[in-house]
Amino acid sequence: MPLRYFYMKTIQDFSFKDKKVLVRVDFNVPLDKNYHVTDDTRIVAAVPTIQKILNDGGSVILMSHLGRPKGGYEEKYSLKHVVSCLSDALQRPVLFASDCIGAPAGQAAKDLKPGEILLLENLRFYKEEEKGDHNFAQKLAGLGDFYVNDAFGTAHRRHASTAVIAEFFKSNKVLGLLMAAEVDNIQKVLHNAERPFTAIIGGAKVSSKINIIKNLADKVDHFIIGGGMVFTFIKAMNGNVGKSLVEDEMIGNAKEILAICKENGVELYLPKDSVCSTEFSENGSIGIYETTAIPNDSMGLDIGPKAIEEYCQVIANSKTIMWNGPMGVFEMAAFQKGTEKVGRAVASATDSGAFSLVGGGDSVAAVNKFNLSDSISYVSTGGGAMLELMEGITLPGVAAIEE
Ligand code: AMP
């Protein structure tokens, strides 16, 4: 467990002996066509919280969503498919209730004994879950006598099981270990970063990262920009971006960010050069160009060698590093080098004592692809929730516990 920077009550502050503890987890895991879990990261991440409750002599009732069902049972979204994976992770049997409310859930919860684990069926088989329905939340709340929220991945949603349910628990509600660690690490970076602090922001679009950049603009020393969003900035500076991805409607915002950075003395790095192709695939004609002078028939799909060198140097000199979003289309081998090199630079800066936080689905996928996760100080499990915390938004799932 990392050091707790902000004091929040977590399950470590309670004993759960003989308690039936309702735990909201995020088991929204990928399944293959035979319904086998292909990435158990989120299941493994929930184990410490479950284990703590069991070790205290309590029992655990797990609730989660899986996928995006249309509001009714769908075989491919049944949480029964994760039971054996969860059981393997916990080295214990896991019971399953074929509904999350009603008789199946009620009876199974009633029969549950200390040391036992019950997983409820997918909450999103009821539309009421995402609507934050009060009655539905009350039915869920009736199943246990303590509420723990450990679902960071959905903490930015005000759903029945993530926020509304907390109203039915007065003092017997608390954040789980995963959730507390996530919030703590992100808050530490936002409010107590050792300098120089570098934020590496990549990914496809400026529009999805604009609020993060604005919120960080008075906190960081350097922004390193990569990915498709580069070209909106370059166009805002009157460069030639060829066929590269550009959000014309965001050009004004890009100019505003450049101005804010200048005013705050923040260095915003754009790639000096880019690996470009005539097609959005590995089959086009590939060339390296200055990012401000990309030919009309080409698009930038990765940062180039000069940019890699400059970015890696900035990263090596940083004491705090936050990374969200790949530097290029790293899913294709021809355009993965920038993301890989930046990832390796973050890992080696961490080895030399920097604190690094990586979050967002694609950056985490990149870190895993290049086997770097053990060399990063903290890898966040939440995409949207991490972005919203970074944007300075209070998460409903956290606020509901603190109310
Ligand atoms: P995001 O979800 O916004 O972090 O974006 C991640 C996606 O951005 C990945 O799937 C990348 O393939 C894509 N991406 C990265 N660089 C570029 C680029 N230069 N042009 C188009 N897409 C890109």
- Which residue, by CA, sits nearest to atom 10 of ligand 1? 329
What percentage of the chain has pLDDT greater than the value 70?
Answer: 98
- Taking 70 as the threshold, does the pLDDT of residue 6 lie above it? no
Find out whether 43 and 84 touch, Cβ atoms under 8 Å: no
DSSP assigned state of 97: E
Ligand 1, residue 329: give the atom nearest the CA. Answer: 12
Residue 2 lies in a domain: no
Q: Is 356 a residue whose pLDDT tops 90? A: yes
Identify the active-site residue in 19, 20, 24, 42: 42
pLDDT tens digits, residue range 114-139? Answer: 999 999 999 999 999 999 999 999 99
Shared domain check, 342 and 317? yes
Residue 6 located in a structural domain:
no
Q: What pLDDT is stored for residue 39 in this prediction?
A: 87
CATH code where residue 49 lies: 3.40.50.1260
Neighbours of 312 (CB within 10 A): 18
Predicted pLDDT of residue 364: 87
15 and 158 assigned to the same domain: yes
Confirm whether 358 is domain-assigned.
Answer: yes
Shared domain for 306 and 211, answered yes or no, is: yes
Do 137 and 109 have their domain in common?
yes
The single residue of 4, 214, 361, 369 carrying the catalytic annotation is 361
The per-residue pLDDT for range 295-309, each reduced to its tens digit, is 999 999 999 999 999
In a shared domain, residues 268 and 359:
yes
Element (H, E) at 23: strand 20-24
Confidence of residue 276 (pLDDT cuts 50, 70, 90): very high
User: 178 and 198 share a domain?
Assistant: no
**Shared-domain flag, residues 210 and 229:** yes
Residue 5 has pLDDT above 80, yes or no: no
Please indicate whether residue 361 is annotated as part of the active site.
Answer: yes
Q: Flag whether the pTM goes above 0.75.
A: yes
d(CA 25, CA 113): 20
Same domain assignment for residues 343 and 215: yes
**Residues near 129 by beta carbon (within 8 Å), at least 6 away in sequence:** 65, 123, 136, 159, 160, 161
Residues 247 and 119 in one domain: no
Ligand 1, from 275, 322, 329: best to mutate by most atoms within 8 Å of Cβ?
329
Alpha-carbon span 308 to 272, nearest angstrom: 9
- Tell me which residue range forms the domain holding 211: 193-371
The per-residue pLDDT for range 16-73, each reduced to its tens digit, is 999 999 999 999 999 999 999 998 989 999 999 999 999 999 999 999 999 999 989 9
Answer for the pair 199, 223: CB distance below 8 angstroms, yes or no.
yes
